[in-house]
Amino acid sequence: MTNNIKKPSQTSWAQKKAFFLSSLSHNKRDLTAAPIKYSLGLLAIPMMLEMSMEAIFAVVDIVFVSWLGTNAIAAVGITEAIVTVLYSIATGLGITVTAMVSRRIGEKKPGTAAKIIGQTIWIGALISIITGCVGVLYASELLRLLGASEAVITEGKNFASILLGGSFSIVYLFLLNAAFRGAGDAPVALRSLAIANLLNIILDPCLIFGLGPFPELGVTGAAVATTIGRTIGVLYLLYFLFLGNGRVKLASRDLILVPSLVKRIFRVSLYAIGQFLITTSSWIVLIRIIALFGTAPVAAYTVTLRLMEFVWLPCWGLGNATATLVGQNLGAKKPERAKQTVWEGAKYNLMLMTLLGLIQVIFAPQIISLFSTEQEVIRHGINCLRIIGAGFPAYAIGMIIIQSLNGAGDMITPSIMNFICFWLIQIPLAYWLSAIVNVGPSGVFIAIIFSETLLTVMAVWFFRKDSWLKQQI
């Protein structure tokens, strides 16, 4: 009798465990034919874990660097503001790669998908060379441009130089992971970031503090550790791409330069890159506004942004899964299934981000105190966590819809909405509230929550018009 009572829950647990393990293993099931919840879960679990790994990069670095003092934290924060420009380019290209690869997989054309990835490798090389040269030659000037004090520049110029000089590791991690996500091979992308993170966690304290035989490099050590970790992750992706058994396999012929295809990828990517440049450049302007109030608010903003990345990025992973399924379903000529997938993803993201927002608002003092003991940093950090956390439910829905539009190949509409919300509204409002109304740095945080909520309202309105379903890519 006792065994009969326990059996159903044991079976349910076994099924969930089997599904979880299945999502992390290699499978070639047609995601456009399986039930939507199943397909979404199969992609979302590894993609959310993958984005959590990306967030761990940021949190691990800031945990160790925070022991070096406010100037070190500010140096990392301002450098990250610069690197976000590179992130926006790589993310924009990655979105295009995901959209084009997922559409070809839905059309059952893996050979064409492989050619797209091959051309993307050449594009990544060009971006890496340009970024690396600029970063190595002008690191100090870039930090100064964003309002860093001379003390911050002295401590952080080598950090910026190494991180930007090794930009190839960032670019290829973004682009190749995007390719695997589009193909539906999300576990591969997860494993690459797990490898990169493990190395970063091990090397960070060794190179920052000079543990054992390692040199003591201070904040510069964080850049060296991160670059090494990401490079090994990229090498793993290349290995699997050429020698693995995924949905898409690259051959040497796919690396032959095809100018017409490169031009097409660039053309499609322009709006996606512009979309993220608009977003990230607005964040750079915001940190410049915050810098008007001193180093402590900048340090607080840096810490809280890193912490919120830990929340946003896993949720962004759910958005990536939704976008991949949208692309594959449109390629398979199933537009209604694509729409249902978006609402399903939005529902789950709303529940998740509402819970995380509540935790962030309630436990803000305890969270920020883990990363700094300076009262000014803690005060500003609490305000930032609470104000922005209150807007999480709105961000949740907007995040999924914007990514779904990108996954469908419509990068123009999100770009226009981003420009309106972030440049025409967020930046002027942030400056007016903080400097004119004298709200201080909290005025910037209020402007963020207002503009993000407006973006969600606009995204929902456009999504319901269904014009994105006819997008060709």
* pLDDT of 10: 54
* pLDDT of 454: 96
In a domain, 343, yes or no: yes
What is the amino acid identity at position 279? T
Tokens for 257? 């330069």
* pLDDT of 5: 45
* pLDDT of 155: 84
Domain count, the chain: 1
Say what angle helices 70-106 and 295-331 make with each other, to 10 degrees.
Answer: 10
* pLDDT of 2: 44
In a domain, 28, yes or no: no
Q: Which residues contact 154 (CB under 8 A, 6 or more apart)?
A: none
pLDDT tens for residues 191-224? 999 999 999 999 999 999 999 899 999 999 999 9
- What is the DSSP track for 6-20? HHHHHHHHHHHHHHH
Model confidence, pTM:
0.83
In a domain, 395, yes or no: yes
27: enclosing H helix or E strand: none
Q: Which domain covers residue 65, as residue numbers? A: 33-470
* pLDDT of 9: 54
> What DSSP designation does 470 have?
G
Q: How far is CA 71 from CA 11, 112, 289, 293, 367, in A?
A: 54, 49, 18, 15, 21
- What is the DSSP track for 55-120? HHHHHHHHHHHGGG-HHHHHHHHHHHHHHHHHHHHHHHHHHHHHHHHHHHHHTT-HHHHHHHHHHH
In a domain, 170, yes or no: yes
Show the low-confidence residues of the chain (pLDDT under 50). Answer: 1-8
* pLDDT of 58: 67
| Length of the chain in terms of residues written | 473
